[in-house]
Amino acid sequence: MTHCHRLALLALALGAAGVAPAAAIQPAVAAVAGTAASAPETVETRARTRDAAEAVTQCEAAVGDAIREMRGKQVQAPQFEDDARTARATGDQLDVKGTGRYRRAAGTAPVAFRYSCAFNEATGVASGVLFHEMDKSSEPALPVWQADISKISPESCETAAASALQSSNPRASSIVFDGTTRKLEPAAEGGTALAGSGRLVRAPGMQPSAFRYRCEFDTAGKVVSARAN
């Protein structure tokens, strides 16, 4: 029997005995090794997922506290969107960013905002909260005030102011109004005010002293109040 015939018979005998060739054994060994290597990675991935969820929860709570501290306790609890994301910063720190909305008071329009904060995995504490309001709605326009000069009489205002001065200073004399200081201003309920200054002598022999006055006119041009001091 030749050497080649002996090898062929040996291969048949091993196959009959149930012994797998080396080529068939290697894939099984590789598969087992691969399973053992992936187990620690799965545990680590789960741990990171838990840390990320905890980071989002703690940061959202910290953002809510910051908004109430800055905007007042009447602010309703903020509503957070499902877009929060985390990113590894340095060491045990996770950066969290997201968006949400809050209402300054019941019945008011919601204010959109975005936020960011840092979460420390070792201590479980969120800090460094930053939030930026994204509400683009403009403030209501202020009413435009326009004085109807045709209905305003500086003389009637100054007469009423002089009466007020003489009531508080019975011995006053030489009351002089400085026309260059006259100034129109908006008054209550759509009216107009006239303000200015002047000088008077409070009593004979005293030096002149300065005073300021202000009158308010209603929409019809009537003086409704006058004061001087």
Q: How confident is the model at residue 6 (pLDDT cuts 50, 70, 90)?
A: low
> What pLDDT does residue 227 have?
92
Instruction: Specify the pLDDT at position 224.
Output: 93
CB 113 within 8 A of CB 129: no
pLDDT > 80? residue 157? yes
The HSE-up count of residue 160 (CA atoms within 13 Å, CB side) is 18
pLDDT score at 92: 86
pLDDT by residue (tens digit) across 70-125?
A: 888 788 889 999 999 998 878 889 999 999 999 888 878 898 999 999 999 999 99
- Compare 36 and 196 and report the one with higher pLDDT: 196
- Whether the model clears a pTM of 0.75, i.e. scores above it, the answer is no
Q: 163 vs 145, which has greater pLDDT?
A: 163
Looking at residue 46, its pLDDT comes to 58
| Separation between Cα atoms, residue 224 and residue 58, nearest integer Å | 60
Does residue 38 register a pLDDT over 50? no
Contact between residue 121 and residue 92 where contact means Cβ atoms under 8 Å apart = yes
Q: Which residues contact 197 (CB under 8 A, 6 or more apart)?
A: 177, 178, 181, 210, 211, 212, 213
pLDDT at 113: 92
Q: What span, in angstroms and rounded, lies between the C-alpha atoms of 46 and 49?
A: 5
| CA–CA distance, 12 with 133 (Å, rounded to integer) | 80
**Of 3-7, 24-28, 153-157, 187-191, the least confident:** 24-28
Taking CA atoms, 169 is separated from 65, 158, 174, 200, 205, in Å, by 57, 16, 12, 10, 14
What's the pLDDT score for residue 176? 87
